[in-house]
């Protein structure tokens, strides 16, 4: 097992990884930009190293600075958290080249899943059906027309290097195709430095359901059930649940069996998440994420499994030590992502935290690096806290969430807490019958 882990991240996820390291008796090294000198993840680490100025590209994305910090502190492994370098295959390779362990999948699997066309091809070859679409990158309108003709309009153009919805273009019919294709390619090139795009059949009212998996070095693969991330705004998830209000236990079993055997076949290792669109009782694979996800706590709450502990143990070569049949799904969990933003306009709201009180009691968890006196800077993601509740049923979890939101006080900046207080009171939310478009209409006042 590792003696010392460098955590190449900041904020709540840096604390999240530190907590597990402490429980495992592993020392922690924090890295930070000059903007984060007073941050909680620096205060609570055993050691810290300043790696650069505030812009992420000069600090939290600065591979040479992070590797130097790992070497001078005598760290044995690097946990990347989520975002930043967590899905950077080149970084994972550099970590290994310096005789350090990257706590995550092998570079080849990060690279494979980073190419969304390749990810769909590989998963399809192992029996996980993707959304119908083009099997290769599309470069000209004629190839696009031929592909669209095969599975029919409307189609969606996506960036091969993308993910997360950036640069997507819906095409209603053949007359719009050439124009939208040019637009999508230009956007993909500007955003990802790669203008490869692909086409998919556009599903008009899907839910977003994802499956958490764990795979060890010995080839044992288990799933930890699904998360429902249907409530998104502009491709940013706002509220996630485990399990999905739309799914029956038998459907979870069917999906889990398919997905785990596919990942075993490709030799995947560590934690991963398969993303699906779910519409009319059918799952269609769209992407795989090769990192710990922001919404992982809801899975931890219903399974009792510490995902960061499993990531560290797997990276150290230890076996999972349990089988699929040993995993129990207990109750229901909901997470709200609380951002430092105006709850109506979503304009970022940096500033000093003047007072802070977090909720507690049975079934309440808060993952946050906030404290009274901290200055929230405008340099990074606006996520400042995750409020997670767990209860025996979804209805009880919603009631618990409402009271936990009422207890939560974050004074000095604007946050999205008032938006969540509204959502939990809406009958459509309680019914669980919405699709990915519902929240957008709710926040804009269209419904």
Active site residues: 291
Strands 27-33 and 4-7: parallel
Residue 194: name the closest of 146, 172, 166, 161 by CA: 161
E-strand ranges in 117-180 read 155-159, 169-171
Q: How many CB atoms lie within 10 A of CB 302?
A: 22
Burial bucket for residue 441 (CB in 10 Å: 0-12, 13-18, 19+): exposed
Of these, 232, 244, 273, 368, which contacts ligand MV4 (CB under 6 A)? 232
Site string for ligand MV4, 235-264 (x = CB under 6 A): x-----------------------------
- Contact status: 5 vs ligand MV4 (CB under 6 A): no
Residue number with CB closer to ligand MV4 (26 or 277): 277
Of these, 436, 438, 442, 443, which contacts ligand MV4 (CB under 6 A)? 436
In angstroms, rounded to a whole number, what is the distance separating the alpha carbons of residues 314 and 217? 7
Per CB under 6 A, contacts with ligand MV4 among 139-198 are: 156, 164-165
Q: Number of residues in contact with ligand MV4, rule: CB under 6 A?
A: 17
Residue 399: name the closest of 434, 368, 430, 361 by CA: 430
Site string for ligand MV4, 93-132 (x = CB under 6 A): --------------------------------------x-
* Nearest approach, Cβ of residue 335 and ligand MV4 (Å): 17
Query: Considering only 2-10, 203-211, 294-302, 311-319, which stretch makes contact with ligand MV4 by CB under 6 A?
Result: 203-211
Residue number with CB closer to ligand MV4 (202 or 408): 202
* Nearest approach, Cβ of residue 232 and ligand MV4 (Å): 5
In angstroms, rounded to a whole number, what is the distance separating the alpha carbons of residues 55 and 65? 14
* Nearest approach, Cβ of residue 205 and ligand MV4 (Å): 9
- Contact status: 53 vs ligand MV4 (CB under 6 A): no
- Contact status: 434 vs ligand MV4 (CB under 6 A): no
Tokens for 274, please give them.
């398969």
| Cβ atoms 233, 416 nearer than 8 A | no
Q: Can you tell me whether residue 173 is helix, strand or coil?
A: coil
Phi and psi angles of residue 422, each rounded to the nearest 5 degrees, phi first: -70, -45
Tokens for 331, please give them.
């109750």
Q: Which residues bind ligand MV4 (CB under 6 A)?
A: 131, 156, 164-165, 200-203, 206, 208, 232, 235, 275, 277, 286-287, 436
């Amino acid at each position: 097992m590792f003696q010392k882990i460098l955590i190449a991240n900041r904020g709540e996820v840096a604390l999240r990884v530190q907590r597990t390291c402490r429980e495992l008796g592993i020392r922690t090294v924090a890295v930070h930009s000059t903007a984060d000198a007073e941050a909680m993840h620096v205060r609570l680490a055993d050691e810290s190293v300043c790696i650069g100025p505030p812009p992420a590209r000069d600090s939290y994305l600065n591979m040479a600075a992070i590797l130097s910090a790992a070497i001078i502190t005598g760290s044995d492994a690097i946990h990347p958290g989520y975002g930043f370098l967590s899905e950077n295959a080149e970084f994972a390779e550099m970590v290994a080249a310096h005789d350090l362990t990257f706590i995550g999948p092998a570079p080849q699997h990060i690279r494979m899943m980073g190419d969304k066309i390749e990810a769909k091809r590989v998963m399809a070859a192992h029996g996980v059906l993707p959304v119908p679409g083009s099997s290769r990158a599309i470069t000209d309108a004629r190839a696009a027309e031929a592909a669209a003709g095969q599975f029919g309009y409307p189609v969606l153009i996506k960036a091969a290097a993308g993910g997360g919805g950036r640069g997507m273009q819906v095409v209603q019919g053949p007359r719009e195709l050439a124009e939208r294709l040019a637009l999508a390619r230009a956007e993909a090139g500007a955003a990802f430095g790669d203008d490869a795009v692909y086409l998919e059949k556009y599903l008009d009212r899907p839910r977003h359901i994802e499956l958490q998996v764990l795979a060890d070095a010995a080839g044992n693969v288990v799933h930890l059930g699904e998360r429902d991330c249907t409530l998104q705004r502009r491709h940013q998830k706002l509220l996630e649940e485990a399990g999905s209000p739309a799914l029956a236990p038998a459907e979870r079993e069917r999906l889990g069996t398919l997905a785990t055997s596919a990942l075993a076949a490709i030799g995947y290792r560590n934690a991963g998440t398969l993303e699906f669109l779910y519409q009319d009782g059918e799952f269609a694979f769209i992407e795989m994420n090769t990192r710990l996800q922001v919404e992982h706590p809801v899975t931890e709450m219903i399974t009792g499994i510490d995902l960061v502990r499993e990531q560290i143990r797997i990276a150290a070569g230890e076996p999972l030590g349990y089988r699929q049949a040993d995993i129990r799904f207990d109750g229901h969990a909901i997470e709200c992502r609380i951002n430092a933003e105006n709850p109506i306009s979503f304009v970022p709201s940096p500033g000093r935290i003047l007072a802070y009180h977090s909720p507690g009691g049975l079934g309440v968890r808060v993952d946050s690096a906030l404290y009274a006196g901290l200055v929230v800077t405008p340099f990074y993601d606006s996520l400042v806290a995750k409020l997670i509740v767990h209860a025996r049923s979804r209805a009880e979890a919603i009631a618990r969430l409402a009271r936990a939101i009422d207890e939560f006080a974050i004074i000095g900046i604007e946050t999205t807490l008032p938006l969540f207080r509204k959502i939990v009171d809406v009958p459509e939310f309680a019914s669980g019958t919405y699709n990915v478009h519902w929240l957008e209409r709710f926040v804009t006042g269209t419904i």
